[in-house]
A and B are shown apart, each in its own frame.
Chain A
Amino acid sequence: MMFAHGFGCDQTKWRLVAPAFEADYRIVMFDYVGCGKSDWSAFDVQRYGSLHGYAQDVLDILNAFDLRDVVFVGHSVSAMIGMLASIEEPQRFSRLIHIGPSPCYVNDAGYIGGFERSDIEGLLDLMEKNYVGWAAFLAPVVMKNPGRAELTEELQSSFCATDPRVTRQFARVTFFSDNRADLAKLTVPSHILQCSDDAIAPQSVGLYLQSAMPMTTFRQMSATGHCPHMSHPAETIALMKECLQQAS
């Protein structure tokens, strides 16, 4: 079972959920390049210019350990990343569990993603502000002390902070991606867990996905917000187990 974190943090987000599956599955967790404790120097602006670059991270890990029959659990943007990876190499996946997914965050004709482009630009500005201290004072310290793990640790204690330029690009790629056309290509069975009152992936998006994705089941969670695996781990675990039982 592979857990993939969403935009804004790293694999530590899964710590309330992943242990519940340790007895039955081999658990694989990772940080995307540019997030958490990944090798920041591996960040390549070209490769990570679209979600396909992140999907390649997933496939690289699956290939490196030659993993098959993988249950891929993707939160937020990782749902689409997992979907892209499964379209690329379907034989590696047994099913996908999407938590709070959205194929397109920006509104379009006849489609409500929840945001306007200007909202996303506003987010990028806001992130820049929240990272201004990082960029001005901390980045040079870290860059000059590559061996000093505790410095990196200290930085991560703020927002699992990564390099703000990298985070900015991840934000851009996440929120400006439109994967609606890819949904129909999915050949691996999937399950959607949709939160109530999710400000990032509204109800309309869940309904859209339900109708556009082949071989999927849809579950409305009583959990509110965008991070049920952190705010409501018990319900998240229970629903995931139900999905898996249903599958077998």
Chain B
Amino acid sequence: MNVKKLKKKVSTFVIYVLAIFVALVFAFPILYMISISFKRSLDIVTWPPKIIFFEPTLDNWLWFLFSADVTAMAPQEGRRIIEIYLPNSIIVATVTTLLSVSTIILIAYSLARFNYWGRKPIAFSLIVIRMIPPVAAAVPIYIFVNSIGLRDTLPGLIGPYSAFNIAFGTWILYGFFKELPVEVEESALVDGCTRMQALFRIILPLLAPGLAVVAVFSFIFAWNDFIIALFLTAVNSKTMPIAALGFYAEEGVFWGPMCAYGTVYIIPTIIFVALVQKYIIKGLTFGAVKG
């Protein structure tokens, strides 16, 4: 009996050690980056690496806010990132999210609640569009956006991002729609609501988790996209991911400022993921499993 108990204790211990190890492996690069943003440049390039014990400094963050004379000056100015790239990214991601979510609601509603000619092929075409890798679409989009004079403008990014998001997000929201009983809506119609009233007053509040997931995915797609921005931006419309290319010079890489930049960059992602984490998996599997 005692042996059995001991065996169980040991196996529980091993499982916890493994679980913590896995979490550490996946959290480490993020924590490491944040810690480096507070390191002096000399402490970053030492051997053996100073992982925990180092003298913290705000130089990298000051560079960001003021581009003042600090030890590690990256070739691009930190203030440019804060004053131009960051607002660009926020505008692009926010407008993309609003445009995507509002159109996705209508499409998902149409596909989930009406039966009409062409419904199936239309629903299906969205999956196919969703499969197109942004890389492969970059040149066509570049040619088109250039031809209508939207190259290097924010609308030139918002349009393509929204197009990708609509194809993707419709399926996510559709999965949530399927779980909502039709009766809820029918009783509202019987009570004298118009279809649009029923949609906005009754259905959407019930779909809040689904909407949140779609919004987060739309935002993060626009926030993270590198390849389309690389093709479409030149001077005025550069977004956060493009700034990542600016930390290399002949003298090497400016690790400190780069890690401060990376930390700023991931803050919205962390917040959003924490907010909707309960529903993310359900959204990703199109409602096929409850997450």
Interaction A to B: no
Residues of B within 8 A of A (CB): none
Residues of A within 8 A of B (CB): none
